[in-house]
Amino acid sequence: MKRILTYGTYDLLHYGHIRLLKRAKQMGDYLIVALSTDDFNAIKNKKAYHNYETRKQMLEAIRYVDLVIPENTWDQKIDDVKTYQVDTVVMGSDWKDSERFECLRPYCEVVYLDRTEGVSTTQIKNDLKLQDPINGIDQLPEEKEK
């Protein structure tokens, strides 16, 4: 079974994200997404509109995604590749040749897929003039016990 791993914030999910996940899954049999936690986003100077739990549940609902794990630090990638027996790490081309991924080559294949032009979370926020969520009302409601 060929195991694929990718990383990201995946905020305000859009078709650029979906296309990346679809193509990544087509490269193997099992796709793991290491999703940036809210604390790690702060380190990346990114303020996600949706919190980690909401972004995680949205990713888990996508047919191409088999497992979502937390991305807490820049430095966990080699451990992730070993822990999850990853064959290939896939990222969008905005990460092409980044040392953060090139350093993985001794441990696994590294593939960069063309980034989808014309869409980004930042552009969506700007176009919608999105404010920060108020009291987290944008988050998924708690699942009621069935």
Least separation in angstroms between residue 109's CB and ligand C2G is 15
**Catalytic residue flag (residue 44):** yes
Q: Count Cβ atoms within 10 A of the Cβ of residue 10 and give its class: 0-12 exposed, 13-18 middle, 19 or more buried.
A: buried
Q: Can you name the residues that pair with 70 across neighbouring β-strands?
A: 35
Amino acid identity at 61: A
Query: Taking CB under 6 A as the rule, does residue 92 contact ligand C2G?
Result: yes
| Three-state SS at 33 | strand
65 binds ligand C2G (CB under 6 A): no
x/- map, 23-62, ligand C2G, by CB under 6 A: -------------x--------------------------
Binding of residue 17 to ligand C2G (CB under 6 A): yes
Stretch that binds ligand C2G, among 56-64, 79-87, 111-119, 131-139 (CB under 6 A): 111-119
Q: Taking the CA atoms of the chain, what radius of gyration do you get in angstroms?
A: 15
Give dist(CA 62, CA 41) in Å, integer. Answer: 22
Provide the 3-class DSSP secondary structure of residue 5: strand
Q: How far is the CB of 37 from ligand C2G (least distance, A)?
A: 10
Which positions are catalytic? 44, 46
